[in-house]
Amino acid sequence: MNVSGVDGMISILKRSKDNVFGLQASGEITAEDIEQVIPILNEGIKKYGKINWLMIMETGKCTSLRAMYEDMMWLLSNLKHFDRMAIVGNKKWEELLIKADGLVFGEKYFDESELEKAWKYVETGS
């Protein structure tokens, strides 16, 4: 499933199963993109109580401030429903941001060369 805005898109990856959600972000992600994905994740929370998720960042640009705000507000209001979160990227600024962000939200950063390791982390915790 693809949720797409004008310049960006968030895809739900086929490997997603049960309470594990794989997402791939490309282009400039808008608040509208975030708002379309949130109901899917909320449904997982409703069904399983806690979810694990992996986000592959392939964005060419930083997301809009409104998108970051929407994302942050949703994350804060649902923290208790997250077990394991992995962010996969290839940019130093992403790594630094996620490591700082991880202090609050608990995300773990993986380089794109560690994609399989990131999947294993969200699927099994190891």
Query: Would you place residue 33 in the very low, low, confident or very high pLDDT band (cuts 50, 70, 90)?
Result: confident
Count of the separate structural domains present in the chain? 1
Q: Provide the residue range defining the domain that includes 20.
A: 2-121
What's the average model confidence in pLDDT over 34-62? 88
When pLDDT is cut at 50, 70 and 90, the band that residue 8 belongs to is low
Question: Is 126 within the bounds of a domain?
Answer: no
Q: Which residue has the higher pLDDT, 5 or 110?
A: 110
Does residue 114 fall inside a structural domain?
yes
Query: How do strand 20-27 and strand 8-12 relate by DSSP bridges?
Result: antiparallel
Domain contains 69: yes
* Beta pairing, strands 51-58 & 20-27: parallel
Name the 3-class secondary structure at 4. Answer: strand
Does residue 68 sit within a domain?
Answer: yes
Question: Residue 113, exposed/middle/buried by CB under 10 A (0-12, 13-18, 19+)?
Answer: exposed
The CATH number of residue 77's host domain is 3.30.750.24
Q: Is residue 3 very low, low, confident or very high in pLDDT (cuts 50, 70, 90)?
A: very low
In a domain, 19, yes or no: yes
Mean pLDDT in the chain? Answer: 85
pTM of the full predicted structure?
A: 0.82
Spell out the residues 6+ positions from residue 13 whose beta carbon is closer than 8 angstroms to its own. 22, 23, 24, 54, 56
Q: Would residue 45 count as lying in a domain? A: yes
Nearest to 53 by CA among 85, 5, 94, 31: 85
